[in-house]
């Protein structure tokens, strides 16, 4: 089994290895050799090596459930072509069109939460992010129906399991849930095509999107690609938003600045992308949340060709990967890395091309959305939804954490507080 438990569950594993052996060392994971790399220069090396000497690798259960026709499982030239096609639904103009729906769903959820007063936020945010994604991606224009949510949760629960296809196993249940989800997506595609108007949501823009040679995605592939978009964006956004709420409640001085900024820049009325872009303190608080608790801790790769790193040879066939959480917690890159300090991004932005903190992925040191040819396709979608959520929360709510709860972090599959974040929400005075 190698050191799988350490690799997956010990948040200090990478740092401990680096301290003992330096930025390149060797381990074993599920009977495979693995090169453990760390440091910004090695992150950049792997980003540059995508499709040249490394490719994505997934456990068998994930591969079977995602299917071969998805961005996450496609490689080489096909992957690059599909990215160009799918990116048509994530351009700035497309995002402007998604904002009213995001705003409506987030506002409605916040009003419901305020009525309840005290509640566990993690499951609520999980339902909200799925609700928004399903509306934009599956054409579910009313609030998402419960059966769809259940199927998606069952599907997600089987993604990282033993791939035994039996009625009682998580994998077997996930396979059947996948069949129903794909059928639902096919029905949504057919309904949209039948209506004669594709529409401006993700589904509509992808129906209209064309490949370099002018061809559209086939119905089967489109459904699988939509499913991977739902999967890639769901747990990640839920983790980011939950941890943002936790950190705001734990750092009232930061939340007060976020609230003051929202009162100044976007106090009422429909949100605009332009106004959200002017929320500098809010953006820094979100960026710092993703630094401290990156929803994706690391990304695994398989070496397709032997390559050299810092004088070592990594043979073809080995596993490797870049390590987001370890990079973000590296004291040589971030002073007092365990401290929540959004202001560190003020300095960061000055040295950053175009003042955009996410450009630092290119320097290999701030990479919540990964980097290189597989950098998160939904990055701008996620950043928009997070900013909209933060602004609407700040407009309406004061936050207090219920006492006595377990706020230690569960790490797998995404970081979030064990208690589910039991929070008291009250209207801001």
What is the SS3 assignment for 401?
Answer: strand
In the bound state with ligand HEM, the residue whose beta carbon lies nearer, of 337 and 370, is 370
**Which CB atom, from 94 or from 228, has the smaller least distance to ligand HEM?**
228
How far is the C-alpha of 17 from the C-alpha of 11, rounded, in Å?
12
Q: Give the residue, chosen from 7, 29, 35, 71, that forms a contact with ligand HEM under the rule CB under 6 A.
A: 71
Segment 73-132, which members bind ligand HEM (CB under 6 A)?
83
Residue 72 or 154: which CB sits closer to ligand HEM?
Answer: 72
Tokens of 225: 């690609």
Cα 267 versus chain centre, distance: 28
Which of 177, 286 has the CB closer to ligand HEM?
A: 286
Q: Which stretch binds ligand HEM (CB under 6 A): 211-219, 253-261, 295-303, 404-412?
A: 295-303
How many residues sit in the footprint of ligand HEM (CB under 6 A)? 23
Strands (DSSP E) found in 1-101 = 24-29, 32-37, 54-56
Six token digits for residue 394: 């700040």
Tokens encoding 136: 């934009």
Residue 56 touches ligand HEM, criterion: CB under 6 A: yes
Member of 377, 390, 392, 394 binding ligand HEM (CB under 6 A): 377
Residue whose entry in the numeric block shows the structure tokens 């048509």 = 88
Q: Please say which residue, 173 or 388, places its beta carbon nearer to ligand HEM.
A: 388
Q: How many CA atoms lie within 13 A of 258 on its CB side?
A: 33
Residue 237 binds ligand HEM (CB under 6 A)? yes
Based on the shown chain and the rule CB under 6 A, indicate whether residue 204 belongs to the binding site for ligand HEM: no
By residue count, the chain amounts to 429
Minimal distance in Å, beta carbon 172 to ligand HEM?
26
Among 14, 49, 240, 415, binds ligand HEM (CB under 6 A): 240
Instruction: Name the residue with tokens 């596993």.
Output: 319
The yes or no reply on residue 38 touching ligand HEM (CB under 6 A) is no
Residue 378 binds ligand HEM (CB under 6 A): yes
Q: Is 335 left (phi over 0), alpha (psi -120 to 50) or beta?
A: beta
Stretch that binds ligand HEM, among 173-181, 271-279, 351-359, 364-372 (CB under 6 A): 364-372
Query: Could you tell me which residues are beta bridge partners of residue 300?
Result: 321
Q: Which is nearer to ligand HEM, 262 or 290 (CB)?
A: 290
Q: Is 232 in the site for ligand HEM (CB under 6 A)?
A: yes
Which among 233, 352, 336, 337 has a CA at the least distance from the CA of 293?
A: 337
CA distances from 290 to 79, 265, 286, 386 (A): 26, 23, 6, 11
Question: Which position among 44, 119, 228, 276 is part of the footprint of ligand HEM (CB under 6 A)?
Answer: 228
- 254 versus 296: smaller Cβ distance to ligand HEM: 296
Find the shortest distance in angstroms from Cβ 184 to ligand HEM: 18
Burial, 351: exposed, middle or buried (Cβ in 10 Å; 0-12, 13-18, 19+)?
exposed
């Amino acid at each position: 089994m190698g050191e799988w438990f350490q690799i997956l569950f010990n948040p200090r594993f990478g740092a401990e290895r680096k301290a003992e052996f330096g930025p390149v060392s060797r381990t074993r994971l599920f009977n495979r050799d693995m090169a453990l790399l760390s440091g910004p220069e090695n992150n950049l090396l792997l980003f540059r090596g995508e499709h040249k000497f490394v490719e994505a690798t997934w456990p068998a259960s994930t591969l079977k459930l995602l299917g071969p026709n998805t961005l996450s499982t496609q490689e080489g030239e096909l992957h690059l072509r599909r990215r160009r096609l799918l990116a048509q639904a994530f351009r700035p103009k497309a995002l402007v069109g998604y904002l009213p729906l995001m705003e409506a769903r987030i506002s409605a959820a916040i009003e419901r939460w305020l009525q309840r007063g005290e509640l566990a936020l993690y499951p609520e945010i999980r339902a909200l992010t799925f609700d928004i994604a399903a509306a934009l991606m599956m054409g579910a224009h009313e609030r998402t129906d419960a059966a769809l949510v259940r199927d998606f949760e069952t599907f997600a629960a089987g993604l990282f399991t033993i791939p035994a296809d039996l009625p009682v196993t998580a994998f077997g249940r996930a396979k059947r849930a996948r069949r129903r989800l794909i059928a639902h997506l096919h029905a949504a595609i057919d309904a949209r095509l039948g209506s004669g108007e594709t529409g401006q949501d993700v589904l509509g823009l992808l129906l209209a999107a064309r490949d370099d040679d002018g061809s559209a995605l086939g119905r089967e592939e489109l459904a699988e690609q939509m499913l991977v978009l739902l999967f890639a964006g769901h747990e990640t956004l839920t983790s980011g938003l939950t941890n943002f709420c936790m950190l705001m409640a734990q750092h009232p001085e930061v939340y007060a600045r976020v609230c003051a900024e929202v009162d100044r820049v976007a106090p009422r009325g429909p949100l605009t992308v332009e106004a959200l872009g002017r929320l500098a303190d809010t953006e820094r608080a979100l960026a710092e949340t993703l630094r401290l608790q990156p929803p994706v801790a690391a990304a695994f790769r398989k070496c397709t060709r032997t390559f050299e790193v810092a004088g070592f040879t990594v043979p073809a066939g080995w596993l490797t990967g870049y390590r987001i959480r370890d990079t973000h917690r590296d004291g040589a890159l971030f002073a007092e890395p365990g401290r929540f300090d959004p202001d560190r991004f003020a300095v960061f932005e000055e040295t950053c091309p175009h003042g955009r903190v996410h450009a630092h992925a290119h320097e290999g040191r701030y990479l919540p959305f990964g980097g290189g040819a597989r950098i998160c396709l939904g990055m701008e979608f996620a950043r928009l939804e997070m900013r909209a959520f933060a602004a609407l929360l700040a407009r309406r709510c004061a936050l207090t954490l219920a006492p006595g709860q377990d706020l230690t972090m569960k790490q797998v599959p995404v970081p979030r507080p064990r208690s589910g974040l039991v929070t008291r929400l009250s209207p801001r005075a």
